[in-house]
Amino acid sequence: MKTVSAQLYEEFLKEKKTNRRFELAGLYIGYGAYVVSLGIVFWFKRENPLFSAMFFLGLFTRVSSLMIGRVFLVPKVFLQLLSTNPSEKEDAWETIQAHKEEIIGRLAGNIFGWNDSSELFSLNREQMIEFVKKYTVTDWRRIGKIFLMFYVPISLFVTYLTIYAWFQ
């Protein structure tokens, strides 16, 4: 039987992997759409205004990739510090302390980037809770899910338009 701390750490690792997959998907879809749209126009010498939709899908995807950073800005293990359940808070804090370099390092990298984040490693629990509250005022995870519900149909429609324009 796994401890709660081990489960939270595994959840953290899954979240890291999911974040990376979304980032790669944004890169591949965005730049892939550019290559397809420019390839159709310049290599195949096809002219139809609908082909520009694929270029704009690439642009839309690359801009939308900025949201991926916001959705995964604060790892879920830190969100459990904001829980009303004291045992969840304690488990989250134990997990953070047990894997401090990796978990706090991820948060520091997401928020501060290449800037100095050494102060983040010395925060106590209450200070960490206040720090996390500051960056979770807006529920970006919920916004990201809603955005995904709009993005998928739009990208499928644009792909349909491109295929339709090809066969005209």
Task: Report whether 54 contacts 33 (CB < 8 A).
Answer: yes
Q: What is the pLDDT of residues 82-124, one digit of tens each?
A: 999 999 999 999 999 999 999 999 999 999 988 888 889 999 9
What pLDDT does residue 127 have? 95
pTM of the model: 0.85
Nearest 10 degrees: Cα torsion 57, 62, 64, 68? 140
Say how far residue 63 (Cα) sits from the centre of its chain: 12
Task: Report whether 81 contacts 125 (CB < 8 A).
Answer: yes
What pLDDT does residue 2 have? 67
CA distance 90 to 141: 23
Question: What residue segments make up the domains of the chain, in order of their start?
Answer: 4-166
Task: Report whether 58 contacts 34 (CB < 8 A).
Answer: yes
Say how far residue 88 (Cα) sits from the centre of its chain: 24
DSSP for residue 82: G
User: Crossing angle for the helix pair 86-98 and 125-135, nearest 10 degrees?
Assistant: 100
Question: What residues of the chain score a pLDDT lower than 50?
Answer: 1
